[in-house]
Amino acid sequence: MGRIRVAIAGVGNCCSALVQGVHFYQSSGEPIGLIHETIGGYADSDIEFVSAFDVDRRKVGKDLSEAIFSEPNKAPRFTEPPHLGVPVLMGPVLNGVGRFTKAMVEVADGKVVDVAGELKAKKADVLVNLISGGADEASRFYAGSALEAGCGFLNATPTEIASSAVWSERFGAAGLPLVGDDLLDQVGATVVHMGLLEFLHGRGVRIDESFQLDVGGGTESLHTLERTRELKRSIKTTAVASSVPYDFPLVSGSTDYIDFLENARDSFFWFKGRYFGGVPFTMDVRLGTVDAPNGGAVLIDVIRGIKLASDRGMGGFIIPISAYGFKMYPNRLGLSEAYKLFKDFICA
């Protein structure tokens, strides 16, 4: 099937988990933690990192295998990737560093690289956008660079790109796949909230009220607190609401940043409803996770899905992949329906 040549914008915690994960599964051969061992004939071992971009001086110039462990990253170290021969290059700062994180990010003095030129030179199949949420200008820059270079684009951030008709049309006209927006984690708060509601509804329960709130550490939680808390709450609530075919009081979103949690997150769920005979019940659930590895399995699936779409000559907004792997998707589907759509796509 060949290799999948991947470039990454944003060498943060999610990047660290992704790079480590690809090496971990390539070296261990143990598929625990993967959702799909193969997609369209592509295994996780077919993923090859060819380029990376960041703005922090502690990462720029280092090999990607080393930069993923540099401050301010806090992702757990669960394997030792070999030297990849992929130096982290200086990307444009634009609005990538916020007021709350400027003390944590040490911007490099180096010259900004020609991102589109680098993507072309490395023949990247897909550019994965993992920069901080809320950096809309920077996310749009990387989307434009992918278009110019002729490679697919994966937007893991809440910036409206894949769900934008304008961007979808531009990628469609170029015959390039576009997926996003806002990655849906493997065992994250949003997907768990959706799954529990879908399960309760399927059991005949009437949901009267529900909320999910979480707190976390790390730079992404700090960016959320400053820039995207209300946007993320809207995206998450809309996604969760798709799990039940009626309206009820519902809130789902991040609430605060706690520095000593580092890359960990605590999520709290509450449900109030009625079952047989209209008898009421309530349920409290607490979920503790580590953020960075939570996106790894979905990213590996989506990257392979993009390559499969490209092999089939598909361009523009790829519905089955976006419905499966992301929160901000027009006319959001329930989990079961989205999963079936993705399975049908990869098995076609």
Tell me how far apart the alpha carbons of residues 152 and 161 are, in angstroms, rounded to a whole number: 13
Going along the chain from its start, the domains and CATH numbers come out as 4-184+295-347 (3.40.50.720), 189-291 (3.30.360.10)
Nearest C-alpha neighbor of 128 from the set 321, 265, 311: 321
Q: Name the one residue in this structure whose structure tokens are 């820059």.
A: 141
Q: Which range is least confidently modeled, 82-86, 104-108, 197-201?
A: 104-108
Q: What is the CA radius of gyration of the chain?
A: 20
Q: Are 207 and 241 in contact (CB under 8 A)?
A: no
**Per-residue confidence (pLDDT) for residue 13, from 0 to 100:** 94
Q: Which range is least confidently modeled, 45-54, 168-177, 222-231?
A: 222-231
Q: Are 315 and 126 in contact (CB under 8 A)?
A: no
Q: Does residue 102 surpass a pLDDT of 90?
A: no
Nearest C-alpha neighbor of 105 from the set 115, 113, 119, 95: 95
Confidence tier at 228 by pLDDT (50, 70, 90): low
Tell me how far apart the alpha carbons of residues 348 and 344 are, in angstroms, rounded to a whole number: 6
Tell me how far apart the alpha carbons of residues 256 and 233 are, in angstroms, rounded to a whole number: 12
Q: Does residue 239 surpass a pLDDT of 70?
A: yes
Is residue 313 classed exposed, middle or buried when 0-12, 13-18 and 19+ CB atoms within 10 A define those classes?
exposed
Top-confidence residue, 47 or 98: 47
Q: Name the one residue in this structure whose structure tokens are 């030297």.
A: 83
Non-local CB neighbours of 174 within 8 Å, separated by 6+ positions = 147, 150, 315
Distance of CA 180 to the CA centre of its chain: 8
Q: Are 161 and 127 in contact (CB under 8 A)?
A: no
Q: Does residue 316 surpass a pLDDT of 90?
A: yes
pLDDT tens track for 265-306: 999 999 999 999 999 999 999 999 999 999 999 999 999 999
Q: Are 15 and 53 in contact (CB under 8 A)?
A: no
Tell me how far apart the alpha carbons of residues 39 and 305 are, in angstroms, rounded to a whole number: 7
Confidence tier at 226 by pLDDT (50, 70, 90): low
pLDDT tens track for 138-182: 999 999 999 999 999 999 999 999 999 999 999 999 999 999 999
Largest CA distance in the chain: 69
Confidence tier at 254 by pLDDT (50, 70, 90): confident
Q: Are 225 and 332 in contact (CB under 8 A)?
A: no
**Per-residue confidence (pLDDT) for residue 263, from 0 to 100:** 87
257: number of Cβ within 10 Å:
20
Confidence tier at 253 by pLDDT (50, 70, 90): confident
**Per-residue confidence (pLDDT) for residue 43, from 0 to 100:** 95
Over pLDDT 90: what percentage of the chain? 80
**Per-residue confidence (pLDDT) for residue 169, from 0 to 100:** 98
Tell me how far apart the alpha carbons of residues 129 and 133 are, in angstroms, rounded to a whole number: 10
**Per-residue confidence (pLDDT) for residue 231, from 0 to 100:** 75
Is residue 203 classed exposed, middle or buried when 0-12, 13-18 and 19+ CB atoms within 10 A define those classes?
exposed
Q: Are 342 and 321 in contact (CB under 8 A)?
A: yes
Tokens of 302: 């989506």
Distance of CA 142 to the CA centre of its chain: 15
Is residue 188 classed exposed, middle or buried when 0-12, 13-18 and 19+ CB atoms within 10 A define those classes?
buried
Q: Does residue 216 surpass a pLDDT of 70?
A: yes
Instruction: Give the containing element (helix H, strand E) for 285.
Output: strand 280-290
Q: Are 145 and 153 in contact (CB under 8 A)?
A: no
User: What single DSSP character describes residue 187?
Assistant: S
Entry pTM: 0.94
Nearest C-alpha neighbor of 346 from the set 299, 311, 297: 311
Instruction: Give the containing element (helix H, strand E) for 230.
Output: helix 229-241
Top-confidence residue, 94 or 224: 94
340: number of Cβ within 10 Å:
15
Q: Name the one residue in this structure whose structure tokens are 């020609």.
A: 114
**How large is the average pLDDT for residues 196-210?**
97
